[in-house]
Amino acid sequence: MTRALVTAGLFLFAALLPSPALAQEAGGGLTMIDENGRQAIETAVLRDQEMIAVDRLAELFRFDLSEDVRTRTVTLSAGGRSVILTAEQALASVDGRLVSLAAPVYRLGGDWFVPLDFVNRALPSVAGQPVELRLASRLLLVGNVRIPRVAVRYGPRGEGGRLSLEVTPETPYEVIEEPGRLLIRFEAAAIDLAAPPAPRGDMVRAITHDETLPGLALDLGPAYGSYRVIGALPRFAVELEPAAAAAADVSARPVPTTVLGDPASRPVLRTVVIDPGHGGDDEGTRGPNGTLEKHVTLAVAQRLRAALESRLGARVILTRTDDRGVPLDQRAAIANNNQADVFISLHANASLSEIPAGAEVFHLSIDEYGAEAREIAEREGEFLLAADGRQREIDMVPWELAQARYLFRSEFLADLVEEELAVRVPMNERPRTEAPFRVLAGANMPAVLIEMGYVSNPEQEAQLVDPVFQGSIVEALVAAIVRFRNRLEQGDFLPPEVEPPDIEATGAGDRRQEVEVTEDGATRDRRRE
């Protein structure tokens, strides 16, 4: 009997002893994203288990926090809902319902800690809003934020490489080529991406997760030559072509020695240049709530680029990819130097009155030029085969008359854009107008300018920054470009129009030029002042 009492006393004494000291180490941390942005959340490692401080959760979600020292419990409450946690117990009482946890709740130095699975298993019930912890990407999502999951694979493909992506849910993206880098930017607050694959070879040196985009950054190696996008959301691929193959393709072409005729057999729409109006110090128009035209035009241009690349497989170039100023003549020069097949300039209108509203489409008129332009628009010139296989005219054309050869096609494109916009967004009482915009005058291809709405109208100002409205603009422009491409393939434009000369619209001082093919197969401009 005595021995039994002693044994029981020892067990009771052991139970009353404090728990072994907890050693706290810094954890990997989390990034919380909600409608207000993102912020870092510290985590800790206790007894080999990553945990988060309860008082930090109370601060983030504005919970009431109360501790009962006698029962060794802590309660989180909000809006009549509550969660009760007990020290050293791997349980949580959520409105009276027991929820198991991956590890016990710990109290250390006056602070309470819960394992990370508490966030998904118990927190949403008391938070009263969606809460999701994506541990693989260390993201804590709060509310109705849109964070797509991006799965990435990379591998060799012949002498090149292929980056395959699957995006869930479908999220607009754009591919941006910079010196030595290829960027894939998604229109989201962030992306959920596991560790990017490690590439091998000289095509790509590294693939990294760039949170500032957000998206992927590919550090290109010496073997890289060019890229193209294939497929459509939710799955698409970026195929990387080797530089050697591109060089061999050009050098394999014979140097042309004869004048060639009809250019109709070549692909009719391969490159589209999109011009986001204004930028940098040139803010453009400003709405009553502070919306800037330069930001609206860039946002829509980036959406349009992603849509055209994924749906048409076209090469799409922006005259600016960030908030920088680009001179008007340089915008046309970018299109000319990249041999664009279509040039689209995006803008947002404004008025002294808040009443005007609606989208408008502009193109140049033959009447803006007079007899000289009419003669240029209706004549046919001679052609040489350029180094890339495209036919280029040998003709001297004034810089300011570059658009004259394409006025008929520009007018037709403007009609299509107007028709497609009219079924998706409000239109101005003058939906299509002829106007002498300088940015169109130097464009050496069919060109139109779109005023997407009036930022001075409060209702339209809100629409212009709405992703849904911007998406409607993009859908209209994609549909119009597809119809324009189909018409080009029919080859039935009248009066006949032929490929214009290469005109590098670098400034009003570059007045006349002609193009010749040199002995190495390259094109060279010969200008006359």
- Per residue in 15-54, pLDDT (tens digit) is 444 444 556 688 789 999 888 788 899 999 999 999 999 9
Compute the mean pLDDT over every residue in the chain, rounded to the nearest whole number. 79
The predicted pLDDT at position 377 comes to 43
Confidence of residue 250 (pLDDT cuts 50, 70, 90): very low
User: Is the Cβ–Cβ distance between 281 and 325 less than 8 Å?
Assistant: yes
**Each residue's pLDDT tens digit, 279-323:** 999 999 999 999 999 999 999 999 999 889 878 878 899 999 889
| 173-178 and 181-186 beta bridge pairing | antiparallel
User: Residues 231-252, buried b or exposed e (16+ Cβ, 10 A)?
Assistant: eebbebbbbbbbbeeeeeeeee
Question: For residue 436, what pLDDT is reported?
Answer: 74
Q: In this predicted structure, which of 144-153, 220-229, 346-355, 492-501 has the lowest mean pLDDT?
A: 492-501
pLDDT at 245: 52
The one-letter code for the residue type at 404 is: A
Query: How far apart (Å, rounded) are the C-alpha atoms in residues 192 and 215?
Result: 9
Q: Which fold has domain 269-528?
A: Aminopeptidase (3.40.630)
**Between 60 and 12, residue with greater pLDDT:** 60
pLDDT at residue 516 in the model:
33
149-251 folds as Immunoglobulin-like (2.60.40)
101-132 pLDDT per residue, tens: 999 999 998 899 999 999 999 999 888 889 99
Among the residues of 423-454, which ranges form H helices?
Answer: 438-441
Does 144 score more than 50 pLDDT? Answer: yes
Residue pLDDT, tens place only, 409-430: 899 999 999 999 999 999 999 9
H-assigned helices in 238-289: 243-251
Contact 50, 43 (CB under 8 A): yes
Q: Name the phi and psi angles at 503, rounded to 5.
A: -120, 115
pLDDT of residue 257: 30
403 pLDDT tier (thresholds 50, 70, 90): low
Report the pLDDT value the prediction gives residue 493, as an integer from 0 to 100.
55
Architecture of domain 25-142: 2-Layer Sandwich (3.30)
Q: What is the mean pLDDT of residues 336-358?
A: 93
The helix/strand/coil state of 9 is helix
- Per residue in 510-523, pLDDT (tens digit) is 323 333 333 333 33
**147 close to 132: Cβ distance less than 8 angstroms:** no
Give pLDDT, residue 21: 54
Q: In the 8-state DSSP scheme, what is residue 163?
A: E
- Domain ranges, ordered by start, for the chain: 25-142, 149-251, 269-528
Cis amide bond preceding 495, omega within 30: yes
pLDDT(502) > 50: no
Q: What is the pLDDT of residue 255?
A: 34
Percentage, residues of the chain above pLDDT 90: 47
* Mean pLDDT within 4-12: 46
Q: What is the pLDDT of residue 522?
A: 34
